[in-house]
Amino acid sequence: MNIDAALAALTTVLGQRLSLSKSDLDLHGSSETHFPLTPPDAVAYPQTTQEVAQIVKICAAHHVPVIGWGTGTSLEGQAQAFSGGICVDFSQMNKLLRIGQADMDCTVQPGITREVLNTELRATGLFFPVDPGANASLGGMTSTRASGTTAVRYGTMRDNVLGLEVVLADGSVIHTGTRARKSSAGYDLTALFVGAEGTLGLITEITLRLQGQPEAVTAAICAFDDIDSAVRCVMDTIQIGIPMARIEFVDAATAAAVNSYAGSNLPECPHLMVEFHGSDGGVREQAESFGEIVADHGGKGFEWAIKAEDRTALWTMRHNAHYACMASRPGCRAIVTDICVPISRLADAVNETRADLAAHNVTGPILGHVGDGNFHAILLFDEADPDEVARAETVAHRMVTRALDMGGTATGEHGIGIGKLRYMAAEHGPAWDVMGALKAALDPHNIMNPGKLVPPRN
């Protein structure tokens, strides 16, 4: 790696948009979870696809790693420069390029965030549904195959990306997919790059599927005496086929943290947060059916949020649950981990995780998108206490191995990065080697986000 020569060439292309300041490097070397500060050698701020291609060509010529950066909200170290190199920050490529109102699609640059996109779509009667909680960039969401609170109805990024523009490891630019709603034309390269975590190329444009804004929306929160009742309520709701737009779970520890953080007054017990989209009559029928299921499982304290501001407050409380849990123990670090299991095993997975937390004396609030079998644990620890760190790591490890034993996955939405690399062989077997072969074919010099997702290369 000839970093000095690469920096000199990049300065010629970018000028002051190549940053070497310590504060900027530290910002782009940080993580919201337990990974140590790992600054890149420089941060590049491209404004066009052509500049991204030039950056990659220069880095390829000097064998310098290239790491994409959206808003830095990934949780498994995907955006950190563990091998050094150039961080490519897409914040200046943040435009909505096209709206296809009749076709219900749009094309965006990778740096635009989901909230900004939906603000710009407001007058069209359309919206982009994928909501991971954080105001993440669409490029980052595509690269990590993000999902979130609305995936139970609208799917993940995999289901909502129609096509891409990608800069490959040699600096060439390709386009994948079309604006058609289906195709049988060869390999699905769009799907290959969605979730590749920047290991195969840098995404510079994304064509997205949009949804019509529903005529009626209503949300609610309800409490349960125990986790098992809440989770089984979710299972019955899904199996009966009620078309939920969101169905979220928080445990008693999360409810207590939210109360302290936001000044709310939730009973300190497990809760479900739900939302229905559709016509006035359809939403009413769905809510009534769900209410009957809740009653069957001993749910109580139903509070409906019909006004937009009340729904916003409810989901803001849910989205801030991560920060509330972190604030519940000032100065702590966290392993923020997630697993996803078949719906039929969800109650077992949650209950066994709670038993592990108690057995290992680990504080670990549980919350998640339980409508699709995905839940998270925020495992808090004092990084100065090696025993406490080890106990938190043990619980995280047992969560993943349990999910795999149940026919699930090591991660439903956080991705692999470096944090869950060691579980890929167990989950995929020889298919993981196929991923490595694809990486080697498209990135022979291993410059695109090296050390992440695929088998380590010598």
CATH number for 171 = 3.30.465.10
**Does one domain contain both 125 and 145?**
yes
The whole-number average pLDDT for the span 428-436 is: 98
Paired with 211 in beta bridges are: 127
What single DSSP character describes residue 66? E
- Written as one string, the DSSP assignment of 31-78 is -SSSPPP---SEEE---SHHHHHHHHHHHHHTT--EEEESSS--SSST
The whole-number average pLDDT for the span 23-34 is: 93
Grade residue 235 by pLDDT with cuts at 50, 70 and 90: confident
**Does one domain contain both 314 and 228?**
yes
Amino acid at 180: A
List Cα–Cα distances, 68 to 90, 144, 203, 423, 439, in angstroms. 8, 11, 9, 23, 16
Domain boundary among 212, 236, 269: 212
Amino acid at 200: L
The whole-number average pLDDT for the span 26-32 is: 93
Is residue 337 within 8 Å of residue 395, measured between CB atoms? no
CATH code where residue 409 lies: 3.40.462.10
Domain boundary among 376, 392, 413: 413
Whether residue 293 lies inside any domain: the answer is yes
Whether residue 138 lies inside any domain: the answer is yes
| Whether residue 96 has pLDDT greater than 80 | yes
The dihedral through the CA atoms of 368, 116, 160, 167 has a sign that is negative
CA dihedral 353, 359, 361, 366 (to 10 degrees): 10
The torsion angles phi and psi of 204, rounded to 5 degrees, stand at -115, -15
Please tell me the distance from the alpha carbon of residue 53 to that of residue 248, in angstroms, as a whole number: 41
The whole-number average pLDDT for the span 66-79 is: 95
**Does one domain contain both 261 and 388?**
yes
| Whether residue 239 has pLDDT greater than 90 | no
Please tell me the distance from the alpha carbon of residue 276 to that of residue 243, in angstroms, as a whole number: 7
The mean pLDDT of the chain is: 95
State the angle between helix axes of 386-405 and 346-359 in degrees (0 to 180), rounded to the nearest 10: 160
Whether residue 369 lies inside any domain: the answer is yes
The proportion of the chain whose per-residue pLDDT surpasses 70, expressed as a percent, equals 100
pLDDT score of 227: 87
**Does one domain contain both 348 and 396?**
yes
pLDDT digits (tens, 9 = 90+) for 361-379: 999 999 988 888 999 999 9
Please tell me the distance from the alpha carbon of residue 163 to that of residue 161, in angstroms, as a whole number: 6
| Whether residue 458 has pLDDT greater than 80 | no
The whole-number average pLDDT for the span 255-283 is: 93
**Does one domain contain both 163 and 271?**
no
Is residue 135 within 8 Å of residue 354, measured between CB atoms? no
CA dihedral 230, 235, 238, 241 (to 10 degrees): -110
> Where are the extended beta strands (E) located within 271-325?
271-278, 300-305
| Whether residue 274 has pLDDT greater than 90 | yes
State the angle between helix axes of 346-359 and 227-240 in degrees (0 to 180), rounded to the nearest 10: 160
Is residue 235 within 8 Å of residue 300, measured between CB atoms? no
Which range of 147-151, 227-231, 318-322, 408-412 scores highest in mean pLDDT? It is 408-412
**Does one domain contain both 172 and 120?**
yes
Q: Which of 41-50, 64-73, 221-230, 399-408 has the weakest average pLDDT? A: 221-230
Whether residue 311 lies inside any domain: the answer is yes
Q: Provide the 3-class DSSP secondary structure of residue 228.
A: helix
Whether residue 264 lies inside any domain: the answer is yes
| Whether residue 72 has pLDDT greater than 80 | yes
**Does one domain contain both 302 and 234?**
yes
When divided into structural domains, the chain yields a total of 2
Pairwise pLDDT comparison (198 vs 308), residue with the higher score = 198
Grade residue 304 by pLDDT with cuts at 50, 70 and 90: confident
pLDDT score of 277: 95
| Whether residue 347 has pLDDT greater than 90 | no
The pTM of the whole model exceeds 0.85? yes
Please tell me the distance from the alpha carbon of residue 29 to that of residue 11, in angstroms, as a whole number: 21
Whether residue 272 lies inside any domain: the answer is yes
| Whether residue 268 has pLDDT greater than 90 | yes
Whether residue 387 lies inside any domain: the answer is yes
Q: Which of 24-38, 47-61, 397-411 has the weakest average pLDDT? A: 24-38
**Does one domain contain both 290 and 201?**
no
Q: Which of 200-209, 236-245, 416-425 has the weakest average pLDDT? A: 236-245
Domain boundary among 188, 212, 236: 212
The proportion of the chain whose per-residue pLDDT surpasses 90, expressed as a percent, equals 85
Whether residue 429 lies inside any domain: the answer is no
For residue 162, the enclosing domain spans 98-212
Contacts of 137 (CB under 8 A, 6+ apart): 70, 71, 90, 91, 94, 110, 111, 112, 113, 114
Which range of 296-305, 341-350, 403-412 scores highest in mean pLDDT? It is 403-412
**Does one domain contain both 124 and 235?**
no
**Does one domain contain both 208 and 242?**
no
| Whether residue 301 has pLDDT greater than 90 | no
**Does one domain contain both 122 and 261?**
no
**Does one domain contain both 117 and 148?**
yes
